Structure 1
Amino acid sequence: MLEKKALQTIKEYKMLQPGDTVLAGVSGGADSISLLYLLYNLKAELGLSSIYIGHFNHMLRKGESDIDQRYVEDQAKKLGLICLTDSKDVAAYAAKNKLSIEDAARRLRYAFYDETAIKTNSNKIVLGHTADDSVETFLMRLLRGAGLKGLTGIPPVRGNIVRPLIKIWRKEIDQYIASLKLVPRIDHTNYESKYLRNRVRLKLIPQLKIYNLNIKEILLQTVLLLTEDYLYMESKTKGAIEDVTISKKENSIELDAKKLRGLEPPIERHLLRTAVEKVKGNLAELTFSHIHDVIKNIDQTERWELHLPDSIFVSGNKNSLIISKDKPKELEKVAYLYNLTVPGEIIIKEAGLKISSSILDAPPEGFEESRDTAYLDFEQVGKKITIRSRKDGDRFYPLGMNGAKKIQDYFVDQKVPQEQRDLIPICEGGGRIIWVVGLRIDERVKIGRKTKKAIKLTSSKI
C-alpha cells in the first residue's frame, strides 16, 4: 500500500524519470530506511539507472552516531548498493557560527548531499520527509511567524531534491517497516523536549487532537492549498520583478520605486521578500515587520536607510530602492560658487546648467514665469548675481507665500530628492536669495507696479 501511494506521489509531482541516477539520504531511522527499500523495490518500475546511499554522521550522540553509520552501511551491503559517508562535528560548527543545532545539522547535511550527488553523478537527491514532517514544519513556522513561503511546509520537489514520502504518515511507515521485518535505528534525541520540533510533535499536536482527531490531515491539506497559492504568487512575482528591476549586481539589486508603489500589496510584499532572498541568499530571520518597514519608507521623498538581518542594507528615495550587502555610501556634499554680471551667462558645471541673464528696459507685459525662466525687479537685484549651492540655514520668501521659509523645508515640501538638492543652484542678488532655480523666485524681487526695469534669468541644460 505504501509503495503504491508513494508511486502516485512520484508521478503527481514528476519526481523521477526513467534513466535517473539517485542519491538516497539515509540516516538509519524508520523514514529513510523505508525510502531506501521503496526505491530499491521500485527501481525497475521507475526505470532508475542507479541508486546510491548517502549517510551523514552528525557526531551528536557519542557512540550512537557511529552505530547508525554502521547500520546504514550494512543495509547497503545487503542490497548491493554503494554507500558514501561523511562526518562533521555539528555541535562545534553550530557554536562557531552561532547557529542552533538543528540549523547547523541541516546546513552540513545538505552540503554533504550536494557534494555526494556530484561525485556519483546523481541527478536527483531523494529524501525521506513524511506528511508528519510537513505538518510539524508548518506548525513550527506558524509559531515563529512566517510568510506564505514558510507556511507551505516542506516542498515535495525543490530543484533536484525530491521527497516521495511527503504524503505518507508515520504510522504507514511503521507498518511498512514491520512488513519488511526491519529494525531501524532509533534516535533518542527525537524525544528530547529542548528541540522545538519534538515539542510540537509530542506536546502540541496531541493537544490539538483534543479539538479534532483529524487535525494532522486538516493541516496537511492546508499546507497543500497554501503551496498552490504560493506557486501562483511566485509566477506573478517572476514577471513583476523583471519589470521593476533597474539593475542587478553580485551583492545588490536596484528596484524602481515608482513601479513598486503601483503593484498590488500582496505582490509588492512577495516581490520584496524575493529581492532580499536574491541578495541575502535566504530568508532566515526576515520577518513581516522588516518588509512592512521597507514598504512604509517607499513613499518617502527623502533618502532613507534600513538595516535587515545578516547585514543587509536597504536604502531608497522616491525613484529607486537598493537592497545590498554593502553599506550605502554617505552622500558627498557638492559645493560651488559662481559670479554672474547682468547681462551675461555662465555655466554651472556641477548642475549641468547654463544661466543666462538680460536686462529689460521695461517690465514685460502679460508674462508667464516657468520653471526655467524668472523675471525680477532690476532695482531689487542689481547687476551682480551670485550663483551657488545651498548652505545650512538658507531662507527665502517664496513667491505668493507670507513669511520666510528655510530652503531645506522648501525642498522637502517640493519633494526634491536629497541627492539632488545640492545640484539646484541658488541665485543671490542685493544681499538676499532671489531665485531657487527651477522652482520659485523670492516674493521681494517680483515684478510690481513700481518696477521700471527688469531682469530676465533663464536656465537651460548643457
Structure 2
Amino acid sequence: MAQVQAKIPVLLMVSGGSDSTALLELVCTYVAGERSDEGLFAMLTDSLPAPDRIVPFVLHVNHMLRGEDSDGDERFVRELCEKLDVPCEVQRVDVGALARSRRGGMEAIAREERYRLASSALDRVCARVGAKDGLICTAHTIDDRVETFFMRALVGTGPGGLASIPRVRGNLRRPLLDASREQLRDWLRKRHPGVPDEELWREDETNLTGDNFRSQIRRELIPVLREFRPGFEGSLAQTMDLIADEDEALRCQADSIAYRTLVWDGETASMPVEALRSLSRSMARRVMRACLLVVNPDARLEAAQIDRVLDGFEDEGFTTETSGGLRVSVSGDALVIRKVQ
C-alpha cells in the first residue's frame, strides 16, 4: 500500500500589518481553491507547492517595543487566526533589552530574532504533522525591496546587496515580492467591503514617523522618486533581478572556493591567509562574505566591512568586527572568524 505523504507545513510570519495580514488571508484562499485575484494567486502558485499539498501555520513575534500597541498587534493576530482556523504560535522577545546588551541596530536584532524563532517554530510544526521539512513565508513586497535597495546603496554594498531582497533563500519564500503594499491593501478592502482599514490590519505608526533609516527612506525619498518617475518600482525591480541573476553565478564560484578552504567546527571558522591572497580583489570579497555567512547566515554584511578585512588581513595581530556579531582576526597564517560572546 502506498504511504500517505504528509502535507508540507508553511509557516507564515504575521505581524498584523497590512502586508502580512494579506499574506495570511491569501494563503487561506489559495488552500481553499479560491481565485479572488489572478495576479496575486499566480504569485502564490509560482512560490508554493500545490494548494492540496500545504497546511498553513502562523508565527507572530511580539518585539515588546511599543507597549500596548505591540500587545494589540498580538491580540489582532490571535483573533484573526482563530477566525480563519489557522494554528498560531506567539513568541515574545524584548528587543530593546537585547539591543542594549548586544552590538547592532534595533532593526537588525529584531530581524535576526524573528528568523531564529521562525526556524525553531517550523521544526516544531514539522514534528507535529510528521513532515520531513517545510517552508517559511514572509510578506515582503516590492515596496520593501525598493526601500532595501536604497538603504544598501546609500551605505555601500556589493552586487548582492543591490539585488536587494531575494525571492528564495533556503526554505524561505517571499511570494508577494512583486506585489505592492497598496495592491495588497486594495485586495483586503475588496475582500471585506465596508470594513474600515483600522479593522482590517494593524498600523505601526513608527513606519512613517520613526527616525530609523528605513522609515526615513520610506517617508522622504520614495515619494520624491514616485513624483519624478511614477511606477519606477517596476523598472528598478527588473534591474535588481538582472543583478541577482549575475550575482548568483559568481556567488556559486565563491561558495565553491570557501567550501574547499574554510574549516568550520560549529563555533570557529578558519582559512589560510594564502587562499585569500591568491584571489582577485572582487572574488576575495565574495569568498570572505561566504565565509562570514557560514558563521552567521543571518548577518547583514556591508561592503565596507568586507574591505576592512581584506585591507587588514596581512597585518599581524589584525582584528575587526562586522555586522551580525562576528569577529575576524589573524592567527599565524590563518584568518579566524567567530561570533562575539
TM-score computed with the length of structure 2 as normaliser:
0.79
Q: What is aligned with 2:336?
A: 323
Question: Which amino acid in 2 is paired with 1:323?
Answer: V
Aligned residue runs from structure 1 range 365-384, under 5 A: none
SS at match of 1:85: strand
Distance verdict in 2 for CA 1:211–1:35, change over 3 Å: same
Q: Give me the whole-angstrom Cα distance separating, in 2, the residues matched to 1:213 and 1:41.
A: 31
Q: Give me the whole-angstrom Cα distance separating, in 1, the residues matched to 2:312 and 2:101.
A: 36
**What is the CA-CA distance between 1:210 and the residue it aligns to?**
4.1
1:35 and 2:32 are equivalent in the alignment: no
**What is the CA-CA distance between 1:136 and the residue it aligns to?**
0.6
Distance verdict in 2 for CA 1:23–1:214, change over 3 Å: same
SS at match of 2:165: coil
Query: Could you tell me which of 155, 175, 185 is aligned with 1:144?
Result: 155
Q: What is aligned with 2:328?
A: 313
Aligned residue runs from structure 1 range 291-302, under 5 A: 291-296=306-311
Q: What is aligned with 1:108?
A: 113
**What is the CA-CA distance between 1:108 and the residue it aligns to?**
2.4
Spell out, residue by residue over 1:209-237, the C-alpha distance to the aligned partner (whole angstroms, 9 max, x if none): 34422322222222212211221111111
**What is the CA-CA distance between 1:58 and the residue it aligns to?**
1.7
Question: Which amino acid in 2 is paired with 1:76?
Answer: C
Q: What is aligned with 2:249?
A: 232
Q: Give me the whole-angstrom Cα distance separating, in 2, the residues matched to 1:223 and 1:160.
A: 21
Query: Could you tell me which of 56, 69, 72 is aligned with 1:51?
Result: 56
1:304 and 2:309 are equivalent in the alignment: no
Spell out, residue by residue over 1:104-150, the C-alpha distance to the aligned partner (whole angstroms, 9 max, x if none): 32222222222221221161111111111111111111112222222
Spell out, residue by residue over 1:160-189, the C-alpha distance to the aligned partner (whole angstroms, 9 max, x if none): 111110111112112111111162111111
Does the 8 A contact of 2:292 with 2:326 survive in 1? Answer: no
**Long gaps (5+) in structure 2:** 34-49, 127-132
Q: Which has the higher helix share?
A: 2
Q: Give me the whole-angstrom Cα distance separating, in 1, the residues matched to 2:147 and 2:162.
A: 11
**What is the CA-CA distance between 1:99 and the residue it aligns to?**
3.7
Aligned residue runs from structure 1 range 8-157, under 5 A: 19-43=7-31, 44=33, 46-121=51-126, 123-157=134-168
Distance verdict in 2 for CA 1:27–1:146, change over 3 Å: same
Count of paired positions: 303
Distance verdict in 2 for CA 1:18–1:180, change over 3 Å: farther
Q: Give me the whole-angstrom Cα distance separating, in 2, the residues matched to 1:47 and 1:18.
A: 11
Does the 8 A contact of 1:20 with 1:47 survive in 2? Answer: no
Does the 8 A contact of 2:208 with 2:218 survive in 1? Answer: no
Higher relative contact order (CA 8 A, sep 6+): 2
Q: Give me the whole-angstrom Cα distance separating, in 1, the residues matched to 2:331 and 2:86.
A: 56
Q: What is aligned with 1:195?
A: 212
Question: Which amino acid in 2 is paired with 1:172?
Answer: Q
Q: Which has the higher strand share?
A: 1
Q: What is aligned with 2:171?
A: 160
Does the 8 A contact of 1:305 with 1:313 survive in 2? Answer: no
Q: What is aligned with 1:213?
A: 230
Does the 8 A contact of 2:65 with 2:94 survive in 1? Answer: yes
Q: What is aligned with 2:283?
A: 267
Distance verdict in 2 for CA 1:287–1:177, change over 3 Å: closer
Aligned-pair Cα RMSD in Å: 2.8
**What is the CA-CA distance between 1:97 and the residue it aligns to?**
2.1
TM-score computed with the length of structure 1 as normaliser:
0.60
Q: What is aligned with 1:423?
A: none
**What is the CA-CA distance between 1:151 and the residue it aligns to?**
2.1
Q: Give the percent of matched residue pairs that are identical in Structure 1 and Structure 2.
A: 28
Does the 8 A contact of 1:246 with 1:256 survive in 2? Answer: no
Does the 8 A contact of 1:152 with 1:224 survive in 2? Answer: yes
Q: Give me the whole-angstrom Cα distance separating, in 1, the residues matched to 2:151 and 2:289.
A: 20
Q: Give me the whole-angstrom Cα distance separating, in 1, the residues matched to 2:326 and 2:80.
A: 45
